[in-house]
């Protein structure tokens, strides 16, 4: 009885270890050795055309991984059998860059048909986007496969929101296996990119003590109290196209654009981390890279699970 139990336990342990071992930085070394170079070329071209696209590509990977894991479910278009995550409130009208991922996938398909997953392309694109706008680089673990389903419902509930209090941000990331420090580091991606007026309107008209008056006044010029909901403002006014630690310096000056930004420095448990990152670009870069790797490990489909999609927006 005991020996059979040990045997079963050993098999389970081996199975678990194999599951984690299936993501590897060398996954395509034999099957598609030029995959990463091809993706990088495609991403570099896209960012050279529009620097803001770097923020969008990092966000795509993030919004994918937080719903069903890093399985490219976010990329699936609406069909009679799939309710797309693209139309969920946190994604609708704000998540972009789908065409860039499709272009990269198309280039990879030319050299290695049916080998490289859309989920892996998302992970590599996020890394390349970071490094191309001055942020850190890291070694991407590969071997994810693509889902055949999407979850509009989970996209509505699992993605963090711009009005979330600190406790909700911490618990939301913890639910995905990410620490409070990971959460603060990943929030630093708001060092690049832009936000729509309706997402920060309440904050800039609140006359609250947690927002710099001059900053609020500047932001009101492009964001009236009514209408023009889609008007854009940079999340970081100082270096809007550079992934750096200025985001954290802004928080010290009460110049976080979103409520969910400024709440990171509001007398709570994350204050010390924000102060550390604002003082040390190196600490932020190192922790951001580590957190992105960790995020890329969220519930991937590996082995025989999932598929390799030929086109990222549709099931084969």
* 217: number of Cβ within 10 Å: 10
Give the C-alpha separation, 219 to 258, whole Å: 12
Packing angle between helix 118-132 and helix 281-295, nearest 10 degrees?
170
* 92: number of Cβ within 10 Å: 12
235 CB burial (10 A radius; 0-12, 13-18, 19+): buried
Per the annotation, the verdict on 63 as an active-site residue is: yes
Of residues 293, 295, 289, the one with CA closest to residue 137? 289
* H or E stretch covering 154: helix 152-158
Angle of CA points 167, 240, 164, to nearest 5° = 15
Give the C-alpha separation, 266 to 244, whole Å: 21
Which is the catalytic residue, given 61, 63, 152, 190? 63
Residues catalogued as catalytic? 63
């Amino acid at each position: 009885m005991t020996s059979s139990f040990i045997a079963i336990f050993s098999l389970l342990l081996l199975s678990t270890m194999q599951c984690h071992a299936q993501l590897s930085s060398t996954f395509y070394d034999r099957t598609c050795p030029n995959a990463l170079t091809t993706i990088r070329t495609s991403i570099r071209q896209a960012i050279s055309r529009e620097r803001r696209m770097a923020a969008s590509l990092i966000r795509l990977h993030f919004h994918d991984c937080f719903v069903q894991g890093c399985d490219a479910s976010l990329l699936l278009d609406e069909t009679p059998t799939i309710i797309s995550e693209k139309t969920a409130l946190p994604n609708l009208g704000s998540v972009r860059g789908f065409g860039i991922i499709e272009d990269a996938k198309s280039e990879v398909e030319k050299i290695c048909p049916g080998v490289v997953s859309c989920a892996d392309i998302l992970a590599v694109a996020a890394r390349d986007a970071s490094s191309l706008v001055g942020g850190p680089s890291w070694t991407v673990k590969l071997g994810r496969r693509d889902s055949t389903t999407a979850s509009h419902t989970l996209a509505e509930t699992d993605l963090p929101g711009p009005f979330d209090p600190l406790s909700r941000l911490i618990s939301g990331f913890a639910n995905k296996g990410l620490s409070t420090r990971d959460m603060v580091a990943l929030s630093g991606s708001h060092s690049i990119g832009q936000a729509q007026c309706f997402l920060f309107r309440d904050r800039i008209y609140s006359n609250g003590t947690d927002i710099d008056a001059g900053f609020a006044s500047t932001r009101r010029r492009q964001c009236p109290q009514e209408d023009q909901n889609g008007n854009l403002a940079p999340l970081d006014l100082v270096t809007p196209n550079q992934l750096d630690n200025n985001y954290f310096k802004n928080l010290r000056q009460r110049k976080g654009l979103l409520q969910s930004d400024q709440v990171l420095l509001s007398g709570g448990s994350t204050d010390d981390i924000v102060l550390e990152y604002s003082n040390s670009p190196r600490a932020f870069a190192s922790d951001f890279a580590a957190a992105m790797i960790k995020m890329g490990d969220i519930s991937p489909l590996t082995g025989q699970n999932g598929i390799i999609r030929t086109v990222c927006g549709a099931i084969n």
